[in-house]
Chain A
Amino acid sequence: MSKFTNILKKDIKELVTLELIVPLLIMVVLFSFIGNLVSSETKKAMAPQNIVVLDYDNSNLSTNLMNELKQGNLIPETPSVKNMQSAIDYAKEKGIKVVIEIPKGFEDSIFNLKQPEVNIYSVMNGLSITSLSQPSMVRNVFQLLNDSISSEFIKQKFANVSPEIVKNPIKTKDFVILNKTVAEVSPEIVSQAFMSQNIFIPMILVFVILYSSQMLASLIALEKQNKTLETLLTVPIQRPLIVVSKMLSSGIVTLIISVLYLFGMKNYMGGISGGEIGSTQYSGVLQKLGLTFTSQSFILLGISTFLAILAALAVTTILAVYVEDVKGAQAMLTPLMVLLMIPYFITLFTDPNTLSLPLKIFIYAIPFSHPFLASQNLLFGRVSFVIYGILYESIFSIVCVMIATKIFSSDKILTAKVKWGKLFKSR
């Protein structure tokens, strides 16, 4: 075992280079920075904002409007100016973004059903969050005002009826049926909730598989490029352990990197979404529909994911045998990348079970598809699909690992050569 830790330590050391660490740290710092920036911008937008109101009416209703605005987190200022232009100048000078012009006869027009026009001017000097959010806040206030005034009108005409019914004589109600459960919710909300909770898993999976394969291929290619492989093969350590060490070290380093990335992402997303990812507001809906993972599903998903990574690493090992240097390793991984992106995008945009049979077979034949398929299949109660998938992944991985260790135990690793350079140049 000590021989194995010896080689494992060396492999990890070789992977953790400055070229790896520097961009990673930059990424984490940058993401956190952007996240903080966005969140402080958002906070700024949330804080009470001053606006300028030019009130030509000076009626009860326009005073009422001021109070409504205050309720809506806006602070109306009424500078003593004569015309619109000076009001705008005033706003610009004070850095205020919105000017509202309430026309003369505002109140009268409303009560005579003349629909007066209120102009909302936005001073735009960029596309910052506040320059968009403030006018919409103002509009929201008017929306509320419209609603309550129209309710008043309705009440006058239909004394015993709720204005709600007059506005919406028909009421629709959404239900979603899932397996045997029925819940009062719209499918959009279910889908949105599902996405918000499950969008990260496939993304991380793609990242982990690609990154670890890339590392593994480089690690093997480096042994060839630096001409250390020949020596390593004469060293008294079981050959399969050489392969296992390379796979494991790529896995470990990738794991550490993904945790760092997730940390950076969390800060980033946290800043953008105001501190909540996979927001809990949805989880109730999903729970009601049984759309949450049980611990059994989690275990199955974990196994499926692990096997997909193992399969990718084993395939990478086999392919890396035919690679001479690190550059060749990049080229060699292209087919693997394609095979990974296909199930990723397909599961992102559609349910693969609704595809045509040949396409379905193709998707299910790619061993890396299964963890992508698993989360949907598990949530929608198709557990046997997942179990067969795991069986298939296991067989695939075992065969590939066997081939990979066999290659390392033979002399193919030294004699097999494909000139990638030539292959690509001749095109």
Chain B
Amino acid sequence: MAIVEVKNLIKDYGALRAVDGISFDINEGEIFGLIGPNGAGKTTTLRIISTILKKNGGEVAIFGMRLGHEDARIREIISYLPEEAGAYKNLTGFGYLDFMAGFYAKNPSEKKAFIERGVEIADLGGRLKSKVSTYSKGMTRKLLVARALMIMPKLAILDEPTSGLDVVNSIEIREIIKGFAKNGVTVLLSSHNMLEVEFLSDRVALIDKGKIFDTGTPSKLKEKYNARNLEEVFMEVVK
């Protein structure tokens, strides 16, 4: 069943059309990857679906709720990890998880469970007690991924989830994302790292210059374009 439906989505920044009539569906429990080069319109698309940018045209429905009409309700069930994000410098890592859990938990025991899950994902050990301002880029990213996933959102929107992480941490985070999908979290992610997306995603959409060129499972796409990996598929498609 499609729980995210995007139809003819358009976004203009002044004269620039950043998203140019794209359409795609995401099924429940699926990991859906948007891949494309820099400036393709990935972040713009994710921001619109996350309710923080207003679309200029088209329709988006999330679990049947119409974007632009029921944004407050949509925010209850989604979790967004921005491409470039930080945490409050004055809080500790733990304090940050506690603060964010406060918006989603319905009662103290649920909040406790959220935070415990967050602590586990962040995997920062004793450093969770130090101020975020003392974290490295990768540590901050892990904290933010943990924050995005700990609340078990129905839809997790992750913009370049592993950006700034080293190989070991990237692989770890990918495994965590996969695990969450198995537990019923639907994931929409973007990346220009096509190998990452190939590994993670059940289905991908190839986006460039605000348009989607093709959508499908990685294996189907590779077959269709007779390519060894998604990078080659992409080069074929945008040719």
- Interface residues, chain A, with chain B CB atoms under 8 Å away: 2-3, 6, 10, 13-14, 17, 226-228, 230-231, 233-238, 410-411, 414-415
Contacts and interface: CB of A to CB of B under 8 A. Distances in A.
B213 interface: no
Contact of B102 (A3, A226, A231, A410): A3
A13 B79 contact: no
Given A13-B91, A228-B88, A233-B52, 14 more contacts: A3-B102, A10-B91, A13-B90, A226-B89, A227-B85, A227-B86, A230-B47, A231-B80, A231-B144, A231-B147, A410-B54, A411-B54, A414-B47, A415-B53
A414 B53 contact: yes
Given A410-B54, A415-B13, A236 B76 contact: yes
Interface of B: 13, 47, 50-54, 72, 75-76, 78-82, 84-91, 99-100, 102-104, 144, 147
A34 B52 CA distance: 53
6 contacts: A10-B88, A226-B88, A228-B87, A230-B52, A230-B85, A234-B78
A231 B82 contact: yes
A11 to B, nearest CB: 10
Nearest to B52: A233
Given A235-B75, A411-B52, A228 B86 contact: yes
Nearest to B77: A236
Contacts of A415: 13, 53
A414 B81 CA distance: 15
Given A13-B91, A234-B80, A226 B86 contact: yes
B132 to A, nearest CB: 9
Contacts of B84: 227
A17 B104 contact: no
Contacts of B103: 3, 6, 235-237
A356 to B, nearest CB: 45
Given A13-B90, A228-B87, A231-B80, A236 B104 contact: yes
B86 A234 contact: no
Contacts of B147: 231
A227 B86 CA distance: 5
Of B72, B85, B102, chain A has the most CB atoms within 10 Å of the CB of B102
Contacts, number: 66
A415 B13 CA distance: 9
Contacts of B78: 234
Contacts of B79: 234
Contacts of B75: 234-236
A14 B102 CA distance: 17
A410 B71 CA distance: 12
A19 to B, nearest CB: 11
A162 B170 CA distance: 104
A283 B100 CA distance: 54
Contacts of B52: 230, 233-234, 411, 414
Nearest to B85: A227
A3 B76 CA distance: 12
A236 B82 CA distance: 16
A6 B89 CA distance: 17
Nearest to A230: B82
Contacts of A235: 75, 100, 103
Given A238-B72, A411-B53, A227 B82 contact: yes
Contacts of A238: 72
Q: Taking each of A234, A410, A414, which has the highest tally of chain B beta carbons within 10 Å of its own beta carbon?
A: A234
A226 B91 CA distance: 12
A228 B85 contact: yes
Contacts of A226: 86-89
B50 to A, nearest CB: 5
A227 B144 CA distance: 12
Nearest to A225: B86
A231 B80 CA distance: 7
Nearest to B132: A226
Contacts of B54: 410-411
A119 to B, nearest CB: 68
A38 B75 CA distance: 60
B88 A6 contact: no
B99 A10 contact: yes
Nearest to B73: A236
B198 to A, nearest CB: 27
A233 B75 CA distance: 9
Contact of A14 (B72, B76, B88, B104): B88
A230 B80 contact: yes
A383 to B, nearest CB: 44
Contacts of A227: 82, 84-86
B77 to A, nearest CB: 9
A326 B78 CA distance: 30
A10 B89 CA distance: 11
Given A238-B72, A410-B54, A414-B52, A6 B102 contact: yes
Contacts of B80: 230-231, 234
Contacts of A231: 80-82, 85, 100, 144, 147
